[in-house]
Chain A
Amino acid sequence: MFDDFFIRALVAGLGIAFVTGPLGCFVIWRRLSYFGDTLAHSALLGVTLAYTLEFNIALSVFIISSLIALILIQLQKRTNLPGDALLGLLAHSSLAVGLVVIGFLTFIRFDIMGLLFGDILAVTADDLLIIWIGGPLILLILKLIWKPLFASTVNYELAEAEGLNPDRAKAIFTILMAGIIAISIKMVGLLLITGMLIIPAAMARNISSSPQSMVIYSILGGLLSVILGLFTSLQFNTSSGPSIIAASLFLFILSLVKIKQSIKLKN
């Protein structure tokens, strides 16, 4: 009934949504939207390097994004610049360097739009494998560090005082962020990955009363966005990334209506 490429895109998208759901909650709770953006921008450099060296794209993006995260941590320690300036510096310079490198690679035909905004035609069977191995692995690690990560998100000193080692949890979380960007870049595109992390989680915040329920709603919102978005993408021949993000925005707006109702009920 559907073409193979569409089924592949659907399976890939759903696999990604399972991971962006819980990670996105932490992005919102820890105020890391721009951090995610910076890692995603640096992914372009990873992609171009992968093409140049004929290397696996996901792995290359993962390495470059982790590297940028490490550089950021070092810059934060060694300079007096505010965090947002450093994030902007790294995001735009790595994007620029990535684009400059592409300019040199005249022998390869690049689908820049696909890279920036995702392309459902681009998802291969190998990508599915990476998503469905990498995704559960990210979720498993997140589950293992949940306690210290969540506790230090609520209050760093409490977590530190009561022996939970929040610094280690934070470092691992950073690597997980690089991981999700690496596996979802083909699908959502590097300019929109942060949207996939934030918008379903923001929608979930509007309708949940506990951290666990927010994570569940965030996953459900992501899954629904992928399904709605991909069908739209198929129907109207739009890029997959923007279609998925637009669908999640639609869900977010619906969740605002829910808030309005519950406020009315209270009064």
Chain B
Amino acid sequence: MSLNQNILVKLKQAGFRINGKWLVKGVSLQIEKGKIVTLIGPNGSGKSTTAKIALGIYKKIDGEVEKYTNKVGYVPQKISIDWTLPLRVNDFMVLTENLKDEAINEALSLTGVIHLKDKNLGDLSGGEFQRVLLARAISKKPDLLVLDEPVQGVDFTGEIALYELIKKISDELNCGILLISHDLHTVMSATDHVVCLNGHVCCSGSPLDVAKNNEYKALFGEQASQILTRYKHSHDHIHTSEGEIKKN
């Protein structure tokens, strides 16, 4: 492939092992500006590990990682914060980058937690904290967003709104997003590229390609496949100029 300036991160046959045990191996993928790449797979399939390889958190890896940006926003799957630290939401927002007050307020408003700005981080509920994490990641207007189950613990309506927000951010900032999610509905409607993991890449491609894949069906079951095919209908007809729907 020719040199593509839109590429933010590229993994080539990347893998990571601890004490000889592979957490994930042979992953190749690339994240481009304005595109959403989603990792799906069962628990323990190496999704978070792949994200950490892409972020450069794991250094002793097999294969190669090429990272072309340092403007990164990261929402980790698990985060344990030590409460010996007196930390308000406002302090947490400027953790890795100095931001203007307007930028902080804007991000907190987008994720619906502006009212918590002066609260102590330890006093937030799980869902509230998740929204703050997302706000922090987007507030610095990154080139690359890595979101590891970003809406866990968020209420149902909030979940849909946050996914819409993520899609909107990807378009507005033209940033690349690496998304890890268990919600196949939402994932498939918004994603450009899906990588299905199970210790290795078992299949990848557009959401529809993946849905048709037999390995995917074996991994997630027939039902999951049907979820995906529901999105297929938008491709199996065309709208004629007379406003009629015509099967192709």
Contact = CB atoms under 8 A, between A and B. Distances in A.
Contact of B76 (A29, A151, A155, A212): A155
Contacts of A158: 74, 76, 79, 95-96
A214 interface: yes
Given A155-B81, A209-B120, A164 B96 contact: yes
Q: Which residue, of B74, B85, B98, has the highest number of chain A Cβ atoms within 10 A?
A: B85
A161 B146 contact: yes
B130 to A, nearest CB: 14
Main secondary structure of the interface of A (DSSP, over half): helix
Nearest to A163: B70
Contacts of B76: 155, 157-158, 161
A161 B73 CA distance: 8
Nearest to B96: A162
B82 interface: yes
Contact of B87 (A28, A164, A210): A210
A208 B84 contact: no
Given A157-B76, A161-B55, A28 B95 contact: no
Contacts of B72: 161-163
Contact of A151 (B71, B96, B120): B96
The 3 residue pairs across chains A and B that have the minimum distance between CB atoms: A163-B70, A161-B55, A161-B74
Interface in B106-164: 120, 146
A193 to B, nearest CB: 21
Contacts of B88: 209-210
Nearest to A148: B96
B22 interface: no
Interface in A198-220: 205, 208-214
Nearest to A208: B86
Nearest to A157: B57
A231 interface: no
16 contacts: A151-B96, A154-B92, A155-B81, A155-B95, A159-B95, A159-B96, A161-B55, A161-B56, A161-B72, A162-B72, A162-B73, A162-B74, A162-B96, A163-B71, A164-B96, A208-B86
B182 interface: no
Given A158-B79, A161-B72, A162-B74, A29 B84 contact: yes
B91 interface: yes
A174 interface: no
Interface string A46-61: 0000000000000000
A227 B56 CA distance: 48
Nearest to B118: A209
Given A205-B86, A208-B86, A209-B88, A157 B52 contact: yes
Given A153-B82, A211-B86, 16 more contacts: A29-B85, A154-B81, A154-B82, A154-B92, A157-B76, A158-B76, A158-B96, A160-B55, A161-B74, A162-B72, A164-B96, A208-B86, A210-B86, A210-B87, A211-B85, A213-B86
A150 interface: yes
B52 to A, nearest CB: 7
A147 interface: yes
